[in-house]
Structure 1
Amino acid sequence: MTNGDDEAVKQQVQQYWDGRAASYDGDSHHAIHGEEQRDAWLSILREWIGDGDPPRRILDVGCGTGVISLLLAEIGHDVTGVDLSTDMLERARAKARERDRSVEFRNGDAESISDPENAYDLVTARHLVWTLPNPSAALREWQRVVRPGGQIVLIEGHWDFDEAFDGYREIHDELPLYDGRPPGELVDVLEKHGLERVEYEPLMESVLWGEEPNYEQYVVAGDVPE
């Protein structure tokens, strides 16, 4: 695929998520609905990322409406959220103001991060790799902006639906990790891209998603080499 093709795919991805912005947080799979669900996610984030003492510099890539960004800020981290969708970012900024959370949200490309090398302690993303035309470029970029010894922590899944999502029917063949991947396969992908000590944990508790998940969900993390 040429760079021009990549950009055309990204434009369609951006348009799709701009169109989803108004309804995105209404889905319990996406946003937080109630204290029990919030506490469950905070527990996962504390386990895999830490409790913010000391705070870590975190880049949340493909942050959407800021769900994970705001939870990480709540437990004390210094968070920046990046997303292609300007409409999603507007929602994220509004939520940050409403909750009095200091999170920088900016428009950006997950495959081409504007920050310098070693700018962060950790990069995180939730349900993002499936929608990237060049996930290898993204993984290289994420490692570039994370200091040696830092981490990449991904919340991912694997589904294999019969039909492509609306808005993705024309482009899903251009997305190498479309449909997500089983955790073992994504572990292999991360290791092949140089991450060390890669491990994963299933995230199948219904409280995390508001209902019993209908496809495989998990968190996977690895260390950037020192």
Structure 2
Amino acid sequence: MTDRSDVKKLVKRHWNGRAETFDDEAHHGIHGEDQRERWLSVLDRWTGEAPQRVLDVGCGTGVISLLLAGLGHDVTGVDVAPAMLEQARDKAHRAGLSVEFQRGDAEVLAVRDDAVDLVTARHLLWTLPDPETALREWQRVAGPGGRILLIEGFWDHPEPWDEYEEVHGDLPLYDGRPPGELREVLEKAGLRDVEHEPLDDPVLWGREPRHEYYAIAGTVPR
């Protein structure tokens, strides 16, 4: 498959189908106060003093969006899958948190230049047919001096599954990358002062990590 619009349709269908049960898995949702507090600690270290204007791209069910809002940031979540956004809005309402959720394409955001201080994304780059375009787009909306913060990993699954059986060959970063390789991708895209931190604490994932997880961030040059 080479038509990117077809690739995106199948990716959207995959995540729409997983929305209702996505948070059930220990390493996806937040299950308990210890896990919540540990994630808040990680995000607080990487985001800095609140309030900041944050765009959470590929927000899914809003896990990171709601944590960031809980830290006092002004958060907007964007996702391509309507069913994921429904879950996110419901969770925000139940938590009493004010987070705006919008449907959108991570590679072509309906957001003005320099609109936010920080762009975040968790486990998103591997799902994109054009991650380089996405990284340029995120820098555009963050603007000079803005930050890009990614929660990423390297999964190295033996076989693709569901819709990914058909499209994984069209996703340049499918299965993620080790931090050193992703650092090179971010620097090639223009980010500066790129640094990363392992996220191997079992409390973060509700179990012993089965893959290599990490936070990685860089600054948009002025």
Partner of 1:151: 147
Task: Give distance in 1, aligned partners of 2:48 and 2:161.
Answer: 34
| Alignment check: 8 A CA contact 1:201 1:219 kept | yes
SS in 2 for 1:20: helix
Task: Give distance in 2, aligned partners of 1:108 and 1:41.
Answer: 25
Q: Deviations over 1:197-222 (max 9, x none)?
A: 00000001100000011110000000
Partner of 1:221: 217
Q: Deviations over 1:14-41 (max 9, x none)?
A: 0000000010010111110000000000
Task: Give distance in 2, aligned partners of 1:191 and 1:71.
Answer: 27
Cα distance, 1:50 vs structure 2: 1.9
Cα distance, 1:134 vs structure 2: 0.3
Partner of 2:178: 182
Please give the root-mean-square deviation of Cα atoms over the aligned residues, in Å. 0.9
Q: Please, which runs of 5 or more residues in structure 2 have no aligned partner?
A: none
Task: Give distance in 1, aligned partners of 2:55 and 2:102.
Answer: 11
Percentage identity across aligned positions?
62
Q: Which amino acid aligns with 1:126?
A: R
Task: Give distance in 2, aligned partners of 1:186 and 1:21.
Answer: 27
Partner of 1:19: 17
Runs of at least 4 residues off by over 4 Å: none
1:50 maps onto 2:59 in alignment: no
Partner of 2:206: 210
The TM-score with structure 2 as length reference comes to 0.98
Partner of 1:91: 87
The TM-score with structure 1 as length reference comes to 0.97
Cα distance, 1:147 vs structure 2: 2.3
Task: Give distance in 2, aligned partners of 1:78 and 1:119.
Answer: 12
Cα distance, 1:99 vs structure 2: 0.8
Q: Which residue of 12, 29, 32 corresponds with 2:30?
A: 32
Cα distance, 1:83 vs structure 2: 0.2
Cα distance, 1:51 vs structure 2: 4.3
Cα distance, 1:127 vs structure 2: 0.2
How many residues of Structure 1 are paired with residues of Structure 2 in the alignment?
Answer: 222
Partner of 2:60: 64
